[in-house]
Amino acid sequence: MESPKISSRTQVYGLIGDPVDHSISPIIQNAAFRKTGLDAVYVTFQVKSRNLRPAVTSVKTLGIRGFNVTIPHKIRIMRYCNTLDKEASDIGSVNTIVNRKGSLKGFNTDGRGALLSVGMERLRGSSVLLLGAGGAARAIAHTFAPEVRRISIVNRTISNAQQLKRALRRRYQCQVSSAPLTETKMKELVGDAELIVNASSMGMNGKNDPPIRRAWLNPSQTVLDIVYVPPTTTLLRSAERAGARRISGLEMLLNQGAISFKLWTGKRAPITEMRRALSQEILNHADS
């Protein structure tokens, strides 16, 4: 694909995190800039925790227009934002920053990225089983809660699930419960769920797969696995064999990236082009 033409007018966007070298965001955001003809480029910045404050000062000094934030800065970055979007404030973490003339506004696009991937029609009024209570699970829970009938949170550390349950009960009308990650409980909750979301790190890099058996799944269910390394997880393969609808973490990654693009540029993201670039990148990796 043709390289972007960098000039003195090129606007810079980026990703701040540690590590950042395996991020797919530059692939999808630069594809979006090329397709829309915007004179802009997206690059990664590896920033150690101790350097977060000077990095934020540099963003303002250098006029970087916007950036994504990833591990380990998603929570601490909030203190350097001038304003926070309500959703980011409810969730308690930020993954997208818009820089308007030196004033930084923080957003969290993970929940809406998941919502776009599932679709409002499928989500509304549904019973959701949510695996995990970390940053991504919190984002998804807060975005889904106003729309669904019930959320059951299952997590390895039960106190984290209980904390999320209390936060959701304070704000939303839906039924919320929490449970430990045991086989008996999982079997019962999987059977009761219309939408199953793995928002934990289980299954990442092919390790510690979520304890969900294929026999517990059925064709009326939807399974979203937000883990995207590998692109097809064991959970998604089980869902496929059970005839359930599958949604991959790459789809969510794409959608949350598209929302960030819109926040930065005011333009609708060219999602087809972004998806094509992402698929090409995955194929290249499979070949190498």
Q: Which of 134, 160, 143 is nearest to 72 (CA)?
A: 134
Establish whether the linkage from the previous residue to 230 is cis, with ω within 30° of 0: yes
Smallest gap, in angstroms, from Cβ of residue 5 to ligand NAP? Answer: 30
Smallest gap, in angstroms, from Cβ of residue 63 to ligand NAP? Answer: 28
**Active-site residue flag, 74:** yes
CA distance readout (Å), 288 to 74, 82, 177, 181, 285:
32, 43, 44, 37, 5
Smallest gap, in angstroms, from Cβ of residue 278 to ligand NAP? Answer: 11
C-alpha to C-alpha distance for 203 and 229, rounded to whole angstroms? 8
If the CB atoms of residues 70 and 99 are measured against ligand NAP, the closer one turns out to be 70
| Candidates 5, 74, 86, 165; catalytic one | 74
If the CB atoms of residues 217 and 278 are measured against ligand NAP, the closer one turns out to be 278
Strand ranges in 1-120 using DSSP code E only, listed in sequence order: 11-17, 40-46, 66-69, 83-84, 96-100, 103-107
If the CB atoms of residues 100 and 285 are measured against ligand NAP, the closer one turns out to be 285
If the CB atoms of residues 60 and 237 are measured against ligand NAP, the closer one turns out to be 237
Contact 96, 263 (CB under 8 A): yes
Q: Which of 193, 19, 23, 171 is nearest to 122 (CA)?
A: 193
Q: Which residues bind ligand NAP (CB under 6 A)?
A: 110, 113, 132-137, 155-157, 160, 200-202, 204, 208, 226-228, 249, 252-253, 256
Kindly list the catalytic residues: 74
